[in-house]
A and B are shown apart, each in its own frame.
Chain A
């Protein structure tokens, strides 16, 4: 025993090194197991407070581009509104319910911190549980899909963007409706990979990829990106390179989507054992 202590005292440098390294690795691994959000929540609150000021400055610098985007989105919405109005005027169908049920409600939020250069990127929003944001809600911007809320503290929430190696999304080709699984390979903030599209499907460069709506998170038909390149993989599936529609380097305003019927859908799927 005394010899052991002697050795530890003698080589304390090495043992201290091992100890600190072990603590670090423990932190890394703990962070990777995605269920321990508590630690993150605490640091997120501190960090959110800190970045709010800095994010304000950044928002100011990209104000012109943001205005342009907003303007374009307004135009788009106005066009849609007009179309819908016309449809309502001309339709002679029955109205079953005087209060139409909404499935999705949108919560506006600003990005106060984001990373694009790591393998596991994150985005921090300035709204949190107090504003109705909960984990597993979809996040979109004017450009398209941004990511999924991963943890929310009182005033802030953190989002796993599409450019995170743990992100998975069910997406489909808009033109013909075939769907596959979208993920990120960690090479560049504007490139994702769509897999599991069968070999016989007709694919063209530039085809639009949208969300499939087969999860209880994203509504159907939200822009994801366009096909940049594709090749036939071993087996009977294509591997498709997708140019991500959202520019993660220039992201200020987003909408968090709350699925009001999510619990209902999950409950039904649970009962019918259709996971």
Chain B
């Protein structure tokens, strides 16, 4: 339990630092940025109580906001994503439920399951984030395009991270 706790704290710090110091500076063709810090919410254990999920998501978003001068923007997106997560997990559960002692990772549930899980939540997060950023619907389709392209890069990086770091 303690081990799980410290591991999550470290993961939180590493992902936030990675996002603000490295990934925010990678701008593919001008203004498309991969947002990989949300991997933290994806990887939280199945048993996490819902309130904790929301509160950590809020803290995660706010700490990224602090370093990008956008108070509330990332927080709104991550909280929304955390709100959706239990439903996505419920919908894509295997027939006999999730095994106790396992985590929502590629290692336990395979490539296909993790890809679907990641794509849905990344799209939700990016959608909320980008539309709050422009704060208007007048450029709906150009924003949608940015959502899709950024999501693509985020998903690729998240999937790769599963092979590089969590191979076991």
Closest residue of A by beta carbon distance from B139? A186
Task: Indicate whether B92 reaches chain A with its CB closer than 8 angstroms.
Answer: no
Establish whether residues B51 and A13, one from each chain, have CB atoms under 8 Å apart when the complex forms. yes
Name which of B5-13, B61-69, B100-108 contacts chain A.
B61-69
Nearest B residue to A27 via CB reads B72
**What's the Cα separation between A84 and B72 when bound, in Å?**
53
For chain A residues 15-41, which have a beta carbon within 8 Å of chain B? 16-17, 20-21, 23-32, 39-40
Contact status B72-A23, CB under 8 Å:
yes
**With known contacts A46-B66, A118-B70, A20–B54 Cβ distance under 8 A:** yes
Q: Among B21, B33, B76, which residue has its beta carbon within 8 angstroms of that of A21?
A: B76
The residue on A at minimum CB distance from B27 is A117
Q: Mark B26-63, 1 if CB is under 8 A from A, else 0.
A: 01001111000000000000000011001101100100
B33 and A25 contacting across the interface, CB-CB below 8 Å = no
Tell me which residues across on chain B come within 8 A of A52, comparing CB atoms. none
By beta carbon, the residue of chain B nearest A46 is B66
Within the complex, the shortest CB–CB distance from B76 to chain A, in Å, comes to 4
When C-beta atoms are compared, the residue in chain B nearest to A185 turns out to be: B139
With both chains docked as a complex, state the minimum distance between the C-beta of B98 and any C-beta of chain A, in angstroms. 19
Q: A115-B24, A186-B134 are in contact. Are A17 and B54 (CB under 8 A)?
A: yes
A20 and B79 contact, Cβ closer than 8 Å, known pairs A31-B71, A50-B67, A115-B68: yes
Of the candidates B31, B73, B76, which one forms a contact with A117 in the assembled complex, judged by CB atoms under 8 Å apart?
Answer: B31
What residue of chain A has the Cβ atom nearest to residue B28's Cβ? Answer: A117
- Residues B72 and A117 in contact, CB atoms below 8 Å apart: no
Enumerate chain B residues within 8 angstroms of A46, measured Cβ to Cβ.
66
B residues near A16, Cβ cutoff 8 Å: 50-51, 54-55
**A188 at interface, CB cutoff 8 A:** yes
Chain A residues bordering chain B, tally (CB within 8 A): 36
Contact A118 B31 (CB under 8 A): yes
Contacts of A40 in B (CB 8 A): 69, 71
- Are A119 and B79 touching (Cβ within 8 A)? no
Residue A179 interfacial (CB < 8 Å): no
Interface residues of B in 64-104 (CB under 8 A from A): 65-73, 75-76, 79-80, 82-83, 86
* A27 close to B71 (CB less than 8 A): yes
Residue ID in chain B nearest A25 by CB atoms: B76
The reply to whether B135 and A47 form a contact with Cβ atoms under 8 Å apart is: no
Q: Bound state CA distance, A17 and B27, in angstroms?
A: 31
Interface of A is mostly: helix
B69 touches A27 (CB 8 A): no
Number of residues from B at the complex interface, CB < 8 A? 36
| Tally of contacts, chain A with chain B, CB under 8 A | 100
Contact A188 B30 (CB under 8 A): yes
A24 touches B31 (CB 8 A): no
A27, A39, A115, A117: the one contacting B30 at CB < 8 Å is A117
For the complex, give the distance between the alpha carbons of A120 and B54 in Å.
Answer: 27
- Knowing A24-B76, A188-B30 are in contact, say whether A17-B83 is a contact too (CB < 8 A): yes
Assembly CA distance A192 to B24 (angstroms): 23
Q: A118 is contacted by which of B51, B55, B58, B68 (Cβ under 8 Å)?
A: B68
Q: How far is the CB of A158 from chain B (nearest CB, A)?
A: 7
Q: Is A238 an interface residue (CB 8 A)?
A: no
CB distance A119 to B133 under 8 Å?
A: yes
> Shortest beta-carbon distance, A8 to chain B, in Å?
13
Once A17-B83, A24-B58, A28-B71 are accepted as A-B contacts, the answer to whether A116 and B31 lie under 8 Å apart by CB is yes
B119 close to chain A: CB less than 8 A? no
Please tell me which one of the listed residues A24, A29, A122, A188 contacts residue B61 in the complex, with CB atoms under 8 A apart. Answer: A24
Residue of B nearest to A21 (CB): B79
Determine if A54 is an interface residue (Cβ-Cβ < 8 Å).
yes
- Residues of chain A at the chain B interface (Cβ within 8 Å): 12-14, 16-17, 20-21, 23-32, 39-40, 43, 46-47, 50, 54, 115-120, 122, 158, 186-189
